[in-house]
Structure 1
Amino acid sequence: MSQTFRHPEILEIARTDGKVTVEGLADHFGVTLQTIRRDLKDLADAGKLERVHGGAVLPSGTTNIGYEERRWLNQEAKTRMAGVCAARIPNNISLFLNIGTSTEAVAQELIQHKGLMLVTNNMNVANILVQNQDCQIIVTGGHLRRTDGGLIGTIAENSILQFKFDLAVISCSALDQDGDMLDFDVQEVSVSRAIIRQSRKVFLVADHTKFSRSAPAKIASLADVDVLFTDRKLSPQLLAACRGWNTEVVVAESREGI
């Protein structure tokens, strides 16, 4: 396996376990300790990990990882969550999809939906749903973030405020154990808050890696979300909090709400 394929998986293991060890990764991939040390050095030089004795840990949560890397990270789970989420999205509604690889996966599952009026601040989502001839597409405008095709800033926010959506499907960069949705870009956070405010119902799509990450800016709480779609069971404490907020939790693996 080349380092191109090892690096995303190393990062996923780090987010799941909190850290990685040289010996553990060498056993996992069936390569030499020296090969793993080179991988960790490359990831540390890129700012994606911090080296510690015997391995590496995630860096402090102030910047997001690259878009291409996020696209491949936990891809199978994202596809599974997207399918379950899309099955809950009716035809003939107004729908918002925001920035993120998870929402792009949902867009892929909506190509056969009928009568959608889609509004998005994600150029990738718009390009995906061009394939759906029965989907009206409105792009918000705004400052284009070239790294991921996201439209952010005041223009995007003001565009959103002109609508009242039947449903919004959103993603976030991180989720903490208090149930707060977090992100890295303050301009994107303002746009996400406007999306939530202007939507009658909100779905959040977030795989388990989001629960082991941190980001500095709070978007909102899971209390503001109607349904959370994820790929692994929540901690008992967070699940109890979601029940108290009347936030439904759907685990894609089990295909049923809990």
Structure 2
Amino acid sequence: MVENLRQSEILNIARKDGRVTVDQLSRLFQTSAQTIRKDLTDLAEGGQLKRVHGGAILPSGVSNIEYEDRSKLNRDAKADIARACAEDIADGASLFLNIGTSTEAVARALLNHRSLMVVTNNLNIANILSANPGCEVMVAGGVLRRSDGGLVGALTTQMIRQFKFDIAVIGCSALDSDGDILDFDLQEVGVSRAIIEQARRTFLVADHSKFDRTAPVRIASMSEVDAFYTDALPPNPLGAKLRDWGTAIRTV
């Protein structure tokens, strides 16, 4: 339970940025670090945040953050990441874009591309790219996940296996320090695995908040990713593993 207006605002900042720090909040609210630490402890005890060294992050668990909150989280960083990814996608490419707010940002960054063929299991992406006359859009049918417009299940996977994509652009819910790409929905993970298998190259788009989160289901290893687009250098040991695997890291 949020006890005061300051705690409510702290929670709003965390939902927007993915994490908060004691120093940042002390300056913002012009109050002591001790007071902020108590606020963060109260929010953590109420389940709204998870305490980490120097601050707090949104809690992880066995279910994802609601789509509306995810769509607001690190919105500017996602747009920058998406533009960097789109710059590496040539006109005339065939793509798959999967479920997620980061891949939706990539779709927006592709609105001026030409002669693209995009297959997606994300109805939001299909709607975004419908505004681009130079883009052929195909929707991989399946079971509708009403919470975020995603399509999942065996039918989706069967359609994906009919293609060989130049590039798969995928998002995720969390990145483990051992290099595993993680998500919450087992059906969605099965679709993502098929996407990677059917692509010549795989691009992962994920902002820094994914370094602090966990999720229960493994999609794949980052060793299978050709390029990783993010807004902060991955912390070790993940960063060291990516360098060893030769995964290109593009930071914005």
Q: What interval of TM-score do these two structures reach, taking the shorter chain for normalisation?
A: 0.7 to 0.9
Matched, 1:82 2:82: yes
Q: Provide the residue aligned with 1:112 in structure 2.
A: 112
Alignment of 1:226 with 2:230, yes or no, is no
Structure 2 counterparts to residues 10-159 of structure 1, below 5 A: 10-11=14-15, 15-16=18-19, 25=25, 28-29=28-29, 48-49=48-49, 58-159=58-159
Tell me the CA shift for residue 27 of structure 1. 5.2
**In the aligned structure 1, how far is the partner of 2:172 from the partner of 2:251?**
17
Asked if 1 retains the 8 angstrom alpha-carbon contact of 2:190 and 2:219, the reply is: yes
- Corresponding letter in the other structure for 2:208: H
Among candidates 11, 20, 34, match of residue 7 of structure 1 = 11
Q: CA deviation at 1:237?
A: 2.7
Aligned length: 242
Q: In the aligned structure 1, how far is the partner of 2:31 from the partner of 2:142? A: 46
Cα distance in 1 for residues equivalent to 2:103 and 2:57: 28
Paired letter, 2:138: I
CA distance in 2, matches of 1:160, 1:208: 29
Q: Which amino acid aligns with 2:93?
A: I
TM-score of the superposed pair, with normalisation by structure 2:
0.85
- 1:8–1:73 Cα contact (<8 Å) kept: no
Ranges in structure 1 where 5+ consecutive residues have no aligned partner: 253-258
Question: Using a 3 Å threshold, how does the CA distance of structure 1 residues 25 and 187 change in structure 2: closer, same or farther?
Answer: same
The correspondence of residues 161-172 of structure 1 with structure 2, limited to 5 A, is: 161-172=161-172
How far does the alpha carbon of each residue in 1:209-258 deviate from its partner, in whole angstroms, 9 at most, with x for none? 00000000000010010000010012243222112212111111xxxxxx
TM superposition score normalised by structure 1: 0.83
- How far has the Cα of 1:85 moved from its partner? 0.6
C-alpha deviation, 1:6, in angstroms: 5.1
What amino acid is aligned across from residue 169 of structure 1 in structure 2?
V
* Match in the other structure for 1:238: 238
Contact 2:48/2:58 (CA < 8 Å) preserved in 1?
yes
Q: What amino acid does structure 2 have at the position aligned with 1:114?
A: R
Find the residue that maps to 1:200 and give its secondary structure.
strand
Q: Does the C-alpha gap of structure 1 residues 244 and 145 become closer, same or farther in structure 2, counting only changes over 3 Å?
A: same
> CA deviation digits over 1:109-156, x for unaligned, max 9?
100101001000000000000110010000001111111111111111
Corresponding position of 2:174:
174
Q: How much has 1:5 moved relative to structure 2?
A: 6.7
The 1-side partners of 2:86 and 2:67 are apart by: 23
CA RMSD of aligned residues (A): 3.0
